[in-house]
Amino acid sequence: MARSPSGESVLERVVRILEAFTPEAQVLGVGEVARRADLPVATASRMVADLVEHGLLTRESTGRVRMGTRLWELASRASPTLSMRELAMPVLEELLRAVGHHAQLGLLDGEEVLFAERLSAEGAVVNYTRIAARLPLHASSSGLVLLAHAPGDLQERILTGKLARFTSETITDGAELRRRLADIRREGFVLCAGHLHLEATGIAVPVRDETGHVVAAVSVIVPNDDRARGHVPLLTAGAREIQRRLRRAVGEADDIGLIE
């Protein structure tokens, strides 16, 4: 693969350009792309033009650019989140109707929680989560559930690292976080009142595969009041239904394999 004088491959630079776009910055000028990707403006301009030509970026009439639909198309074909999202969608819809605010599905990706889906009601309480967006594991209910069941080396990296504060309720002490993870494993759920926004409470439970391994977290975001804990049984039932659907899907895939 061709490399620049700095030793970087073209692919490395393309990845940095694509990573410049975030849920908060979906449309950027070329100069901003260059700054975020740490590239000379001329280099960024040339590479952006190539990406636009291939449909991976789209140029607006103002000259600013955004992610192209072809990039979404290519990513969707092999997305590891797609099957889990499809299995969970009916459950998320039921949860949304029941709580009237937000229902979402989170997956562990590196040292963050990646949200594969979020359904929201009109007029719902504030929620920082967005589809395909990420949050630190220690700060959200879904992230805490996933971290509680993550490999030990990942847990230790988070526990001994710097824990960002979002509100006065965010857990930023490693010892406190360790205790909370133990509580989650014992109780089977987590309730995070005001951890990301003081007006909202996140509640999450684990989703397990047929081997008992935690593969996702299903959660709801509701107002931060004394009624929040009452949603735990509903979430637990929802997780069981996703697990049932997952086991059935695995069984059907095995049957197809036997036929072949």
Query: What pLDDT is stored for residue 78 in this prediction?
Result: 52
Sketch the domain layout of the chain as residue ranges: 10-75, 79-256
> Residue 19, Cα to own-chain centre: how many angstroms?
15
Ranges in the chain, pLDDT < 50: 1-3, 256-260
Residues in the chain: 260
pLDDT tens for each residue of 27-71: 999 999 999 999 999 999 999 999 999 989 999 889 999 988 888
Query: What pLDDT is stored for residue 259 in this prediction?
Result: 38
Assigned superfamily of 79-256: GAF domain (3.30.450.40)
Tokens matching residue 88: 């969970």
Query: What pLDDT is stored for residue 5 in this prediction?
Result: 54
The 3-class secondary structure across 132-194, one letter per residue, is CCEEECCCCHHHHHHHHCCCHHHHHHHHHCCCCCCCCCCCCCHHHHHHHHHHHHHHCCEEEEC
* C-alpha to C-alpha distance for 35 and 131, rounded to whole angstroms: 25
User: Is the CB of residue 201 less than 8 Å from the CB of residue 193?
Assistant: yes
Query: What pLDDT is stored for residue 76 in this prediction?
Result: 60
For 254, residues 6+ apart whose C-beta sits below 8 A from its C-beta are: none
CATH of 10-75, one of 3.40.47.10, 1.10.10.10, 3.50.50.60, 3.40.1190.20: 1.10.10.10
Domains 10-75 and 79-256 share a fold: no
Tokens matching residue 72: 């979404």
